[in-house]
Amino acid sequence: MKKFPLFVTFCLTFYLSFFLTNAFSEATLVPKSELTPAKKHKDATEIITHIINSYHYRTKPIDNTLSSLIFDNFLESLDPNHSFFLNEDIQNISKYRDKLDDALLKTELEPAFDIFKTYRQRVKERIEYAVSELGKEFDFEIDEEYLFDRRELTWANDVEELNEIWRKRVKNDMLNLLLTTGKEKTEIKDTLRKRYQRIYTSTFQLDSDDVFQTFINAYTTSIEPHTSYFSPRTSENFDISMRLSLEGIGAVLRNENDYTLIQKIIPGGPADLSKKLHAKDKIIGVGQGESGEIIDVIGWRLDDVVELIRGPKDTVLRLEIIPGKTGVEDLSKILTLTRNRIKLEGSAAKAKVIDLPELDKKIGVINIPTFYVDFAAQAKGEPDFRSTSTDVQKLVTDLVKEDVEGIIIDLRGNGGGSLSEALALTGLFIEEGPIVQTKDASGKIDINVDPDPSLFYAGPLAVLVDRNSASASEIFAGAIQDYQRGIIIGEPTYGKGTVQNIVDLNRFIKNSEDDHGKLKTTIAQFFRISGGSTQNKGIIPDIVFPTAIDIEDYGERSLDNALPWDKVEPARYIKVSSPVKYYGKVRSLHKNRIKSDRAFKLLLEQLALVKKSNKKKTTSLKESKRKAERDQLLDMKHELVNELRVVQGLKPLPKRDKIQEIDEFEEEDGEDKPHDVLLQETAHILYDLIVIQDATATELQALKIEQPQAISNM
């Protein structure tokens, strides 16, 4: 390694000391002496271990095997990209690998705090080094690569190796801002200085409650991924979101490698209604008002990003994001949103009609973003309170009046909601019977049945699902499939088949003024009436679209320690007389149709482009090469979008100068947008099924369709 002259070293040390002392002096940093477990943490540990051991759906002994899992989870939660700890640190703290079980049982939490103190020291060293690198000039003509995804690698062997990792990280951050912002180098360095400062500040503001929460969640997620502990501060934020009184943008956020990632857009919120923000987008900057400074939030704690985004109703918020639909090389863009409350009407079911012009036929579509119910109106006894099932009844009635051939229930992106509404919605399409089974930790099974023993709609039915259809969506789709009431089309669903309960730990501790937080724990599992669980596997469609790529890397099946698929005895129910025996032929017609459907092929090419981009773990630090790679990716995206438009008879977009301009053009273009390829194909599949089911043997022969043999008990 090149060494600096003594004078340079002295100046650099003085500069860093001055910078860190002054830049961080305004923040309230937690002294090392205060990072110790408190009595409330010991009390909470005793209660949490008791609840999990006594009432959790899955039982795991607190032993050395579990201790090893907790150890790994704790390290990964602190340093997921293996960019702070040294290998010697891991070796030193490995003495705790088989002792964390004893720490839990004896409520002796000092090992977790010792590990965190080591981590905190390494963060300080890394930030000092990163800031020192900003004092140098970067040569962007050197052809070298930066490995930005280190999650599968071991920790650095020594300081020199870690310095090299961070040298490339700082250089990459600098190059990325040069290419995406157009700002001067001096301004970019100031932005990065503040970014690294924030990483330091965020880490040194973590108090004993934060350390305890991180450690306990390393334990709970070693049991099962949906079980988690909320510290008093996190618990308060959770309460706000559950009451839906959070005035913000209406999005579920999570941290991922220093980025704030959009995990889910909440139906009816400002983000959803704007159509500008999407799942997998990364928020990299937040600005207040129409002209407030965009604050760089890369490396920020999630709680702090949420605090910036949250604000009074009707105030303006600006977000700088990297769109997730193309990948990590996409350009950033700035969106303007107005904060508001989640509106029920924004998440309400909506209907439309799809024309099949070549057949002169119509198919109805009902899109259900979530399973909702106006609990406040229901509690007041209002007879016409809004809910998914009541809204869908009205929409079905309207569609039938328009003489549609059949109806598609579109559940793509529907992450669930009210169980009672999942039952009520299913009941609209069957006469009566069980819908889902629930098994608790004791093995007791309850059967949830159709609340209304009448049939509202008996016509042809399809259910469209994707990898984001979860929970209540899976209950509905699974019941429709089990009753053979309709055909399920799309991608294997998320696989969320468990039930959680929130426990206030303060209920168990008397005569204490301390807040001990809350525990969310898994207490039961859903099972289909056919006996199989919706957990892990999800619902496998009758016709699986070829968009179902990398499905094992998504949803419940991708989570560590997720409950496995399981089964119980089937419930007693009577299947509907449906055209299941024709599914094979309809599947064959679908495959033949998409072979020649250019729009469908283009959609798959777009997905392959995103997959290729997201699979990248390295990026070039040579400016000309980096720019060429990015431009090639964005040009390919532009060409695919344009070809899809042309195929569907729409005018092409303008020449690509900036991808932001294209996105804005598409948003303003109103009706002049490519149609939903998957929804259109679903309509064709449903109509194929209707035709085949209604055709006589002679008509089937004329259509060159063989009369299928009866299949029993499918």
Cβ-based neighbour number of residue 442 at 10 Å: 10
- Active-site residue flag, 245: no
Pairing assessment for the beta strands 434-440 and 445-449 based on DSSP bridges: antiparallel
**Residue 174: what are its φ and ψ, rounded to 5°?**
-65, -50
Q: Under a CB-based contact definition with an 8 Å cutoff, are residues 348 and 366 in contact?
A: no
Residue 63 identity (one-letter amino acid): D
- Active-site residue flag, 482: yes
**Which CA distances in Å does 626 have to 87, 136, 143, 608, 619?**
31, 21, 10, 20, 7
168, 282, 496, 637: the catalytic one is 496
Strand locations in 604-681 (E): 618-620
Angular region, 489: left φ>0, alpha ψ -120 to 50, beta rest: beta
173, 482, 542, 663: the catalytic one is 482
228, 389, 471, 578: the catalytic one is 471
Tokens 């459907």 belong to: 597
Q: Under a CB-based contact definition with an 8 Å cutoff, are residues 84 and 126 in contact?
A: yes
- 349 closest CA partner among 399, 312, 280: 399
- 406 closest CA partner among 355, 463, 364: 364
Q: Under a CB-based contact definition with an 8 Å cutoff, are residues 435 and 529 in contact?
A: yes
Q: Under a CB-based contact definition with an 8 Å cutoff, are residues 150 and 81 in contact?
A: yes
- 462 closest CA partner among 380, 405, 519, 538: 405
- Helix-, strand-, coil-residue percentages of the chain, each rounded to 5: 45, 15, 40
- Active-site residue flag, 276: no
Q: Under a CB-based contact definition with an 8 Å cutoff, are residues 231 and 212 in contact?
A: yes
**Which CA distances in Å does 636 have to 332, 633, 659?**
17, 5, 11
Cβ-based neighbour number of residue 645 at 10 Å: 20
Residues 6+ apart with CB under 8 A from 371: 388, 414, 416, 417, 418, 419, 421, 422, 425, 472, 473, 476
Degrees to nearest 5, angle at CA 403 with 399 and 406:
70
- What gap in Å lies between CA 669 and CA 250, rounded to an integer? 24
Burial class (CB in 10 A: 0-12, 13-18, 19+), 671: exposed
Sign of CA dihedral 112, 114, 118, 121: positive
Q: Under a CB-based contact definition with an 8 Å cutoff, are residues 346 and 320 in contact?
A: no
- 645 closest CA partner among 658, 632, 654: 654
- What gap in Å lies between CA 201 and CA 25, rounded to an integer? 10
- What gap in Å lies between CA 512 and CA 515, rounded to an integer? 8
- 277 closest CA partner among 350, 346, 336: 336
Residue 521 identity (one-letter amino acid): T
Q: Under a CB-based contact definition with an 8 Å cutoff, are residues 224 and 215 in contact?
A: no
DSSP annotation string for 297-315: -TT--HHHHHHHH---TT-
Taking the alpha carbons at both ends of the chain, their separation in whole angstroms is: 70
Catalytic residues: 471, 482, 496
